[in-house]
Amino acid sequence: MSNPPSHALPVESGPMDLIVTDLAVARGGIPVLEGVGFTLTAGRALILRGPNGIGKTTLLRTIAGLQPPLSGKISAPAEAIAYAAHADGLKATLTVTENLRFWAAIYGTGDITPALSAMNLLGLANRPAQALSAGQKRRLGLARLLVTGRPLWLLDEPTVSLDTDSVALFGQAVAGHLARGGAALIATHIELGLPSTEVLDLSPHRARADAPAPGGFDEAFA
Amino acid sequence: MSNPPSHALPVESGPMDLIVTDLAVARGGIPVLEGVGFTLTAGRALILRGPNGIGKTTLLRTIAGLQPPLSGKISAPAEAIAYAAHADGLKATLTVTENLRFWAAIYGTGDITPALSAMNLLGLANRPAQALSAGQKRRLGLARLLVTGRPLWLLDEPTVSLDTDSVALFGQAVAGHLARGGAALIATHIELGLPSTEVLDLSPHRARADAPAPGGFDEAFA
Amino acid sequence: MIALLVRDLRLAVRAGGGFGLGLAFFLIVTTLVPFGVGPEGGILARIAPGILWLGALLACLLSLDRIFALDWEDGSLDLLATAPVPMEAVVAMKAASHWLTTGLPLTLAAPVFGILLNLPAEGFTWLTLSLALGTPALSMIGAFGAALTVGLKRGGLLLSLLVLPLYVPTLIYGAEAARRGAEELSASTPLLLLVGITFATIALLPFAAAAAIRVNLR
Amino acid sequence: MIALLVRDLRLAVRAGGGFGLGLAFFLIVTTLVPFGVGPEGGILARIAPGILWLGALLACLLSLDRIFALDWEDGSLDLLATAPVPMEAVVAMKAASHWLTTGLPLTLAAPVFGILLNLPAEGFTWLTLSLALGTPALSMIGAFGAALTVGLKRGGLLLSLLVLPLYVPTLIYGAEAARRGAEELSASTPLLLLVGITFATIALLPFAAAAAIRVNLR
Amino acid sequence: MSIWEYANPKKFMETSDRVLPWVAVLTALTLVTGLVWGFFFTPEDYKQGSTVKIIFIHVPAAMMAINAWAMMLVTSLIWIVRRHHVSALAAKAAAPVGVTMTLIALFTGAIWGQPMWGTWWAWDPRLTSFLILFLFYLGYIALWEAVENPDTAADLTSVLCLVGSVFAILSRYAVNFWNQGLHQGASLSLDAEENISDAYWYPLLLCMAGFVLLFLTLVLVRTRTEIRARRLKALEARERMA
Amino acid sequence: MVELGKYAGTVLGAYGATVVLLVGLVAITLWRGKRVRRALEAQEKRMARNG
Ligand code: HEM
Ligand SMILES: Nc1ncnc2c1ncn2[C@@H]1O[C@H](COP(=O)(O)OP(=O)(O)OP(=O)(O)O)[C@@H](O)[C@H]1O
Ligand SMILES: Nc1ncnc2c1ncn2[C@@H]1O[C@H](COP(=O)(O)OP(=O)(O)OP(=O)(O)O)[C@@H](O)[C@H]1O
Ligand SMILES: [Mg+2]
Ligand SMILES: [Mg+2]
């Protein structure tokens, strides 16, 4: 397992491009996106755009390896991905520090204070997570990313319910990550004002529902 | 119980100003805001601004009557308030229609199709809520407001995880509500571009944790 | 009001849960007992009424947390609290739907399980009767317990811990009635007491439960 | 890995749950039984081992849904699945922490409750022994059931429906060992079989459970 | 062509469509003749009296109850290894039939027990293990019902079926260890000599064949239904997406 | 007609229960089969018509 040097916010080195080619993903058995392809190289960020329900979350989950793709291929370096979902995975009864420590231990990284300060949580360090406001929870969820020490971030609407200052804070964090040779794939509806980003609009990739062949029972039943 | 005329999106008439005077609210026993005061009259919207954790949610919950104020007073017309929280209160296994019908029945209002169309949910009408994306869920949660038929809306970050079109949609819905003589109190971090709105910044109202009188154990134990 | 009842019943059915599962659990408990205490028919017959009552009670118990917890998690309890319906009514409806999905099927199925524990023939009517009269109390008391523990993550065990002592009187009178019935003694006294308990709980507990919920929502 | 165990134990303690509540439930069940089946010492002594085993089993059962459901709801299961730890290890740890918070305390407390049901003196050691050897299997099987039902809202009852049949062999051998011990017969055979089951489940079920979780996460 | 061709839904639908009528007719013939023969034209047993006639439904039902589970186990394995939807759906289709067979064995047995053993139910190993089998069926069906996404449901139920089978066998031995019962041992062996007399033996064979065929027919029909239902679901989903 | 002796109730009960269960199973199977087939045909028609 990756055990990076313990200087602040460590990031692995090595070739770590995420290459997605002609990917098709399904949700609940229904094809959602098809023909998605892009390459994400070190130091760059890719913004996923698209209306609600186009399939951003599904795409991210697939790349994170939580669900198998319908077709196409994803080539990502092993043990490189850190995924942040709609839900933050916080334990209500544990304090901010305990929550972070746990993830740091799981990812085998060291010290959590850099993450805390980066997300401006030092003041709340030993407040139980249930006593946080929506935005504070979210900030803690993002601090988790910093302790993973993983180079490739998959973020699903990270700025939800963050105020403008916190959004700026988050922007800096991502920028720093990119600067250290990390990469980020971000699904969001708002402007983040990051450096060196491309934007990928998913709307053209919506899976077409073509009329089924009557009486046609192939393996996919449609 | 209020049984409004059954034309689309009915709104009660009558004097329905929300008057908040010198309000102080606490969360988890800790004073959060104090000296909050404002008046919200029919046809107008008030935006609550403030950094994460300042106390917007707490304030809204207090006005909604879910928790008692520390001090100060809130005068709102009876049965006028509809509250939309961070969570949408959807039943995963019920379809969009069933979810809305239920709330319509609870509030004794009639037909739900206007709400569905207003939030552009007609296409998803009989999809189970668990099969909705984050933004679609949110839209359903907002559609709930429209079937309450209540004139005074309390909205807690209503646009979370909505795409730009949906935000516009929501803006129209609120504008229409105001036009019909409703009012809205909205906590949000982003620009909604509504007509006839004031903005209330809560930052100056943050509760000072003033040093307790030495040895003085008053009612509040501080 | 009715809308709430309908919704909950629908949810119970949708969830593939409701009716069937309570029964299945009841069945399984009654089948596990002989594995525990051994197969001798005599002993089983002696303890049958008590075990059946215990089984019904536990089947109720396991489904209690569903009463409010789900509504709390997805926030609809907040919204119901701000809706134009008295919280007391909400509680009553919730308890009612719980009984319809748990207590009622259990009552109807109890005789069959009686056979498995070779309950003497005389016992059946009394068993059914006592269950029919007693289970509503179980649901109502359970709703109260659920109201107390709503909002605590994994209330499950705490809930049962709170509720079980409250179940004691119901259990005693119910099992007593069933046993006397099985032994062909007069079972009217315990039955009357049972009815008393049921009505008292239904009359009073909704208010206590509603108060508890309001506190928990703060 | 250890971090996970520590976290879960800490959560169990924080939640005021874990240790205390399982015990309390056990206590209450064992106290309710006399109410249910009547106080005759003779019968109680006969059924005591079985009832105690049943009580332990149900106490385990009630806390099963906590194993994965909470982590699923707050999304940390997703995150664990993408973390550099094998899902099998996660399952094993979860089962371990469940046993530490449920099975172990029950085992230690069982003799006390034995007194309540006037279990004959000879029985105590065997009861404790059988519980100590059997409860790990209960936790592991339970974890498997929880893995199957994670993500289903209100898995509770379905979970018990799935798990209880799987508990049958463990219960039979466990209770048999305890009963034979109480009746001063040789209890070594059932004990050996019990140990066999426990080891088998611990060796194999984590893989099945992990597979189930991965399926549920897609 | 390999037999896996038939695992393709389209192929399966065509083939089953062709064979189904014949199987159905054959089933009807065998079952009716078997039961009529058994019910009307068999002598009374000297000690069991006319109740022996129950054997003609009891034993075949019991047999099929076990075999149905075995078939579910096989199809589940096929699904896990080769991901043929048809076999998963076949398992789903078989479960309710198996449960009914179990119920029949339990009912007839219980009714039989009343005169023979003087009790409806005794915790005899065989009876008990059947009760446990019944529980396994219940859990299996409940899990299918509870899970929304069909593929997920198929996977989960398959895993349950595998683990369940192991534990079912464990339970069988446990129960035997736990209590030695009054139920007659297996007296059906291939040569009918040291066995119940031919007078019962031949109609019994016929009934067994009938039950096997009945099971086959029902599973075929139900599998076709499941396939259609699955396709219907997929189509509705597509319509929604469009 | 067969002569069932004093066990008539038992035997008839057993056969009766069996017949009821089997007929019920068959009926349910056929009924659901027909319903699903109808629904599927309708669906296919509709989708063939509009795209
Ligand atoms: C609910 C109660 C009962 C159940 C669940 C049950 C179950 C079974 C099972 C599983 C078999 C094995 C079938 C096979 O060999 O494949 C069987 C066979 C048989 N049962 Fe029962 N049985 C029950 C009650 C009875 C009773 C009360 C009688 C009559 C006294 C009886 C008489 C037989 C006979 C004669 C056979 C055939 C034995 C053989 O040749 O295998 N059963 N039963
Ligand atoms: N249960 C609790 N116990 C103690 N303090 C709490 C609790 N919940 C929230 N707080 C604190 O109360 C303050 C106000 O919380 P609130 O949720 O009202 O903030 P908010 O303005 O809604 O923030 P956001 O914009 O992030 O939603 C925060 O500082 C928070 O840390
Ligand atoms: N469990 C499910 N079953 C069936 N369809 C689903 C399920 N979950 C989501 N969907 C559908 O899959 C599509 C993609 O969902 P997804 O959550 O990926 O969208 P998204 O791009 O993340 O939207 P948002 O921006 O609102 O989060 C949506 O149309 C949604 O309706
Ligand atoms: Mg999303
Ligand atoms: Mg808030």
**DSSP assignments along D61-83, one per residue:** HHHHTTTTHHHHHTTHHHHHHHS
Shortest distance between the Cα of C65 and any Cα of chain E, in A, equals 18
CA of B59 to the centre of ligand 2 (A): 10
Write the secondary structure of E69-91 as one string of H (helix), E (strand) and C (coil): HHHHHHHHHHHHHHCCHHHHHHH
Edge-to-edge strands, sheet with B30-40: B30-40, B18-27, B71-75
Cβ-based neighbour number of residue A76 at 10 Å: 18
Residue (of B187, B212, B208, B211) closest to B199 by Cα position: B187
Residue (of B145, B147, B146, B137) closest to B105 by Cα position: B147
Report the pLDDT value the prediction gives residue F3, as an integer from 0 to 100.
64
Give the burial string for C199-208 (b: 16+ CB within 10 Å, else e): eebbeebbeb
Report the pLDDT value the prediction gives residue E46, as an integer from 0 to 100.
65
| E207: in domain | no
Report the pLDDT value the prediction gives residue D79, as an integer from 0 to 100.
87
Which residue's CA is minimally distant from atom 25 of ligand 3?
A52
Domain that holds residue E116: 55-184+219-241
| E61: in domain | yes
Report the pLDDT value the prediction gives residue E54, as an integer from 0 to 100.
83
State the Cα–Cα distance between residues C141 and C205, nearest whole angstrom: 7
List of chain A residues whose C-beta atoms are within 8 Å of the C-beta of residue D15: 93
| A-E C-beta contacts closer than 8 Å | 52
- Residues across chain B: 222
CA of B136 to the centre of ligand 4 (A): 9
**Amino acid making up residue E207:** C
List of chain A residues whose C-beta atoms are within 8 Å of the C-beta of residue B163: 50-52, 189
DSSP one-letter code for A27: E
State the Cα–Cα distance between residues C47 and C25, nearest whole angstrom: 19
Contact B45, B193 (CB under 8 A): no
DSSP state string for B55-100: SHHHHHHHHTTSS--SEEEEE--TT-EEEE-SS----TTSBHHHHH
Report the pLDDT value the prediction gives residue E195, as an integer from 0 to 100.
54
Whether residues E240 and B123 touch (CB distance < 8 A) is answered with yes
Q: What residues are paired with A18 via a beta bridge?
A: A40
Q: What is the distance of C-alpha E163 from the center of its chain?
A: 19
DSSP state string for B194-222: -SSEEEEE-GGGBPP-PPPPTT---TT--
State the Cα–Cα distance between residues C33 and E171, nearest whole angstrom: 15
Of C178-187, D53-62, E49-58, E184-193, least confident by mean pLDDT is E184-193
State the Cα–Cα distance between residues C29 and D161, nearest whole angstrom: 10
Report the pLDDT value the prediction gives residue A5, as an integer from 0 to 100.
40
CA of A134 to the centre of ligand 2 (A): 7
Coil, strand or helix at F34: helix
* Tens of pLDDT, residue by residue, chain E (242 residues): 466 666 677 888 888 888 999 999 999 999 988 888 887 777 776 666 667 788 888 999 999 999 999 999 999 999 988 888 888 999 999 999 999 999 999 988 888 887 777 777 777 788 888 888 998 998 999 889 888 788 889 999 999 999 999 988 888 888 877 776 556 655 544 444 445 677 778 888 889 999 999 999 999 999 999 998 888 888 877 776 65
Contact C111, C48 (CB under 8 A): no
Write the secondary structure of B118-169 as one string of H (helix), E (strand) and C (coil): HCCCHHHCCCEHHHCCHHHHHHHHHHHHHHHCCCEEEEECCCCCCCHHHHHH
Coil, strand or helix at A86: coil
Report the pLDDT value the prediction gives residue B213, as an integer from 0 to 100.
41
Report the pLDDT value the prediction gives residue B193, as an integer from 0 to 100.
74
Average pLDDT over residues C156-162: 75
State the Cα–Cα distance between residues D27 and B40, nearest whole angstrom: 57
CA of C79 to the centre of ligand 5 (A): 16
Structure tokens at A49: 């755009």
Residues 62-121 of E with CB under 8 A from F: 96-97, 100, 103-104, 107-108, 111-112, 114-115
Of A31-35, A48-52, A77-81, C15-19, least confident by mean pLDDT is C15-19
Contact A169, A120 (CB under 8 A): yes
The larger pLDDT score, comparing residue B21 to residue D39, is at B21
State the Cα–Cα distance between residues B169 and B67, nearest whole angstrom: 31
Structure tokens at C66: 């569903």
ipTM of the complex: 0.82
List of chain B residues whose C-beta atoms are within 8 Å of the C-beta of residue A164: 189
Exposed (0-12), middle (13-18) or buried (19+): which is E17, by Cβ within 10 Å?
A: exposed
Coil, strand or helix at B45: strand
State the Cα–Cα distance between residues E179 and A128, nearest whole angstrom: 54
Coil, strand or helix at D117: coil
Exposed (0-12), middle (13-18) or buried (19+): which is A196, by Cβ within 10 Å?
A: exposed
Of A52-56, D19-23, D128-132, F40-44, least confident by mean pLDDT is D19-23
Residue A22 has pLDDT above 50, yes or no: yes
Between the alpha carbon of residue D11 and those of residues A101, B106, D85, F18, the distances in Å are 14, 38, 20, 53
- Compute and round to an integer the Cα radius of gyration of chain F: 21
Q: What is the distance of C-alpha C114 from the center of its chain?
A: 18
Q: Is the CB of B92 under 6 A from ligand 3?
A: no
Low-confidence ranges of chain B (pLDDT < 70): 1-16, 209-222
State the Cα–Cα distance between residues D124 and B53, nearest whole angstrom: 56
Shortest distance between the Cα of D191 and any Cα of chain E, in A, equals 12
DSSP state string for E106-160: HHHHHHHHHHHHSSS----HHHHHHHHHHHHHHHHHHHHHH-SSHHHHHHHHHHH
Report the pLDDT value the prediction gives residue A9, as an integer from 0 to 100.
42
Residue A212 has pLDDT above 90, yes or no: no
Q: What residues are paired with B20 via a beta bridge?
A: B38, B74
State the Cα–Cα distance between residues E221 and B134, nearest whole angstrom: 40
Please tell me the total count of domains within chain E: 1
Structure tokens at E186: 């297996």
Q: How many CA atoms lie within 13 A of A112 on its CB side?
A: 24
Report the pLDDT value the prediction gives residue A91, as an integer from 0 to 100.
84
Exposed (0-12), middle (13-18) or buried (19+): which is E215, by Cβ within 10 Å?
A: buried
Dihedral pair phi/psi, residue E181, rounded to 5°: -105, -170
**C39 CB-near residues (< 8 Å, 6+ apart):** E122, E123, E178, E179
Pairing mode of beta strands B183-187, B30-40: unpaired
State the Cα–Cα distance between residues B51 and B56, nearest whole angstrom: 9
Please tell me the total count of domains within chain C: 1
CA of A136, closest atom in ligand 2: 26
Tell me the per-residue pLDDT of A166-207, one tens digit each, with 9 for 90 and over: 888 888 888 888 888 888 899 988 877 777 788 888 888 887
Q: Is the CB of A52 under 6 A from ligand 3?
A: yes
Name chain F's partners: 3 or more CB pairs within 8 A: A, E
**A132 CB-near residues (< 8 Å, 6+ apart):** A96, A124, A140, B53
Residue (of A202, A204, A207) closest to A222 by Cα position: A207
| E98: in domain | yes
Residues 161-200 of E with CB under 8 A from D: 162-164, 167-168, 170-171, 173-175, 177-178
Chain F touches chain C, with at least 3 Cβ pairs below 8 Å, answer: no
| E22: in domain | no
List of chain E residues whose C-beta atoms are within 8 Å of the C-beta of residue A33: none
**Which residue shows structure tokens 């109202």?**
B205
Residue C156 has pLDDT above 80, yes or no: no
Q: Is the CB of A134 under 6 A from ligand 2?
A: yes
Residue A150 has pLDDT above 80, yes or no: yes
Closest residue of chain C to D24, computed from CA coordinates = C161
Mean pLDDT score across all residues of chain C: 84
Tell me the per-residue pLDDT of C126-137, one tens digit each, with 9 for 90 and over: 889 899 999 999
Domain that holds residue D157: 2-216
Chain B touches chain E, with at least 3 Cβ pairs below 8 Å, answer: yes
State the Cα–Cα distance between residues A142 and A156, nearest whole angstrom: 11
DSSP one-letter code for C15: T
Residue B120, Ramachandran bin (φ over 0: left; ψ between -120 and 50: alpha; else beta): left
State the Cα–Cα distance between residues B127 and B133, nearest whole angstrom: 11
Cβ-based neighbour number of residue B209 at 10 Å: 9
Contact C155, C149 (CB under 8 A): yes
